[in-house]
Structure 1
């Protein structure tokens, strides 16, 4: 396997990861996205092998092994041949870069891994570049990745890394395209603020293609922009040009690399950009047509989560992935409340459906995470990506950010954790019990406490095990070395035995990737036959969940 491939040639998920495969598909369909390359999963496998660590068998490493991997990725020295590959890629890239995660199971049909892995923006030097690759690799074995994989019963697999040209956007956002309905969020500057939930965003909704957009404006007092200088210029006013207008910004904070500023959006003499639409009507329609057109070509029908930006006065697509939940939650005010409902305390914006009961914990800083117990209702201004690992404890989430498009909003829906937006931290008293209805956005006093205090997002007794990536890796390994089939078949049986007799095995459409006459098709059939020989009920093996 090659150490890296051009992005437009990225086709095999097991080699280039979910994000890399999708970006390659978009490029081949002539969608205007930044070009680049992908460091394949093999590069990470060989890097770790050079330091005595074997992750090539597709099994989840033990906790001890994960510790050794993290140490190697943080401290081990690059080999000369590895630095040659890195230098070749760095020299071939035009200007500034972004270095992005592309895990094998990332951006999948049922699991997004939204916000779990690291991506590094505005990389300008070779030293930053090689550190960024390590940071992305490290995130594949970080606490959030482990927590997510455990919750979904996924293996921890080697990470591919996408390297693309960095676009210094003047506006960015996320769009959900579901059942013909398009929901767009938009804010000034880079999209990191929208996906993290920290930056308020305008909302544009089109009921169908060609419809007039419905606009909901939010006060966008802050935004993220790239530092174009080699030095840090905090506390000095700067200006960005957007839609033939100039927007004045005041940078007051920066990331650890001084690569991205957090800025205040300043009022102007004849305009208030913070309270004005990010996109003019004509540009909303241009963006909407760009997004709808993706369904005509590379994406096809289905529901999609798409990240976009506005660059050089045109809309650009940054990535696309299947929606892992059925739709953006909307309020169902007609839904009757049970007679046991207590006094209504507040009504926010529904983000993730379901109901949770528990005591409130107001989270003000990282240190407050130590106070969280299983079954708590967490109240936060916004949910940083590095908090994802604690979401499994939550009975419900209440956040001041009202966007259903942030990473943690997506995770909440994947994990069936009720979530309501538009709730200010401190508006509910610590330790007091409440009942949260994520479908209606309503929060009540908790009249009846459950006899067993459990977090709402815990998996049901009957589990699903998604084996899409494992099967792809097994089939490709056996195809390359037929003598290894017996070894992989034994691993498959052990995997099924560990899952338990009631666990549903979901192949997630692997069979749909096999064309008629594909030499891997007989192997796929033999793997399923092996499952049946091991007394796996046929009804518990599914192509799609």
Structure 2
């Protein structure tokens, strides 16, 4: 059977998400027009998506003003298990946006129904899921802003929290954009004040703190896309963190409260999920940029999570809270990985949003035979000239072939360094050491500072993250970082005892 959203149907047939939207629409809140394909209807589609079934859907489509890029549709799941008090099933089922015609719509419906078979769902629940899905078809809102409103802050268990971004919410949830946060009434403008008040009314209506997904269009109209009970409220215990004197700290944002001490283990988004689960040691602390639903098994083995995405509604944040483990977001993962070894011990302080760690010692050579003893670092004329040239290249990112120009510059600097090593006298070795010691900090820190003159911090971090995750560079910024990143990695790797192979590599 098919139900309009302005009716209220059997919850078991339409699922929790659709049922809550029906209640909101009946209570006169702004909910985009649409209809729901019941569980029984979807069960028939799985067997055969016949012309008769498609005709029934077309009849309901006539009630929605849609078509083309200006008026697209969105197709979402609605399960009897989804959005329950215990589990949200965030990101587990497929949702499809920007549907412009009937052909795309029927394909999207089939894909959403088929998402019930996803492997990641097995890690999320012990239940065998079969024929649990209904499908919501709605007019898609083109948002100026979108976000999530927690009527009770799930981190502090008091107050409220609104997270929002420009454009679509997926940009925030996936970690592509950092969200803006509102947690005091003083921060509310006219539109957000209206959202705040309506959210509190919805909380009273459902008699439970709500996790509300919303969109604000170009006319400043507020649209409610979803509401569900917050799944992760818990009592917060006071814990005293014993930080060692020699430990450094990285400040992030608390995404899930708690405390953990253990060994870190990095998992890349590029790793096969099954292989990553097999390798990951139970009880370790998961370090990652952003992990998606396919990796949920790992969260069940992890003691805590450290990630770069900083949104409280990101997938790592939600799953960490549901597994009752601490999660710190907004951490500079590249820096953490650079200053620690895999399986080093760290402390995760969920209350303060901090990670404490002991930085690794970069031992280039042994004390007896070192070419690079702690000598006075000389600001050589040669290095200063080379640095000026490299700076010029870095700041000229509009060049089409920036990566080629940087490679040429690196090779030139390699040659200069090798010239110092040819002569076996103390003065030249000191010059080589100074050159090396000046250049590494410049590339690791100066490169980033130079980029800040041309780019925003958000653009730089986003570009660096794409390359760190192994994605193909597209922009000049990404191309230049890939060269510098390789450069620094190879310098560290090739720092041998005699120093001769420091720069024996090709980019």
TM bucket by the smaller chain? 0.5 to 0.7
| Larger strand share, 1 or 2 | 1
Cα deviation, residue 156, structure 1: 4.5
Change (3 A) 1:328 1:304: farther
What secondary structure does 2:85 align onto?
coil
Aligned twin of 1:257:
none
> Contact 1:359 / 1:377 at 8 angstroms: preserved in 2?
yes
Distance 1:406 1:100 in 2: 18
> Contact 2:239 / 2:259 at 8 angstroms: preserved in 1?
no
Cα deviation, residue 345, structure 1: 3.6
Change (3 A) 1:438 1:283: same
> Contact 1:197 / 1:382 at 8 angstroms: preserved in 2?
yes
- Pairing 1:437–2:349 present: yes
Q: Which moved more, 1:188-197 or 1:13-22?
A: 188-197
For residues 34-76 of structure 1, what are the alpha-carbon distances to aligned partners after superposition, in whole Å with 9 as ceiling and x for unaligned? 121110000122234x4xxxxxxxxxxxxxxxxxxxxxxxxxx
Distance 2:202 2:75 in 1: 24
Aligned twin of 1:305:
211
TM-score normalised by L of structure 2: 0.62
Distance 1:422 1:155 in 2: 34
> Contact 1:183 / 1:205 at 8 angstroms: preserved in 2?
yes
Aligned twin of 1:137:
113
Cα deviation, residue 165, structure 1: 0.7
- Pairing 1:316–2:223 present: yes
Distance 1:106 1:114 in 2: 8
- Pairing 1:88–2:64 present: no
Aligned twin of 1:35:
33
Distance 1:341 1:396 in 2: 23
Where does structure 2 lack aligned partners over 5 or more consecutive residues? 67-71, 359-507
Aligned twin of 2:166:
188
- Pairing 1:123–2:106 present: no
What secondary structure does 2:334 align onto?
coil
Cα deviation, residue 328, structure 1: 11
> Contact 1:115 / 1:408 at 8 angstroms: preserved in 2?
no
Distance 1:83 1:314 in 2: 33
Cα deviation, residue 402, structure 1: 2.0
Distance 1:115 1:47 in 2: 23
Distance 1:324 1:113 in 2: 10
Where does structure 1 lack aligned partners over 5 or more consecutive residues? 51-76, 215-280, 447-545
Change (3 A) 1:435 1:339: closer
- Pairing 1:171–2:145 present: yes
Cα deviation, residue 391, structure 1: 2.2
TM-score normalised by L of structure 1: 0.58
- Pairing 1:162–2:136 present: yes
Q: Which moved more, 1:405-414 or 1:102-111?
A: 405-414
1:16-55 equivalence runs, <5 A: 16-48=14-46, 50=47
| Larger helix share, 1 or 2 | 2
Distance 2:51 2:320 in 1: 43
Larger Rg: 2
For residues 242-286 of structure 1, what are the alpha-carbon distances to aligned partners after superposition, in whole Å with 9 as ceiling and x for unaligned? xxxxxxxxxxxxxxxxxxxxxxxxxxxxxxxxxxxxxxx223223
Distance 1:9 1:395 in 2: 44
Distance 1:109 1:198 in 2: 28
Distance 1:444 1:180 in 2: 27
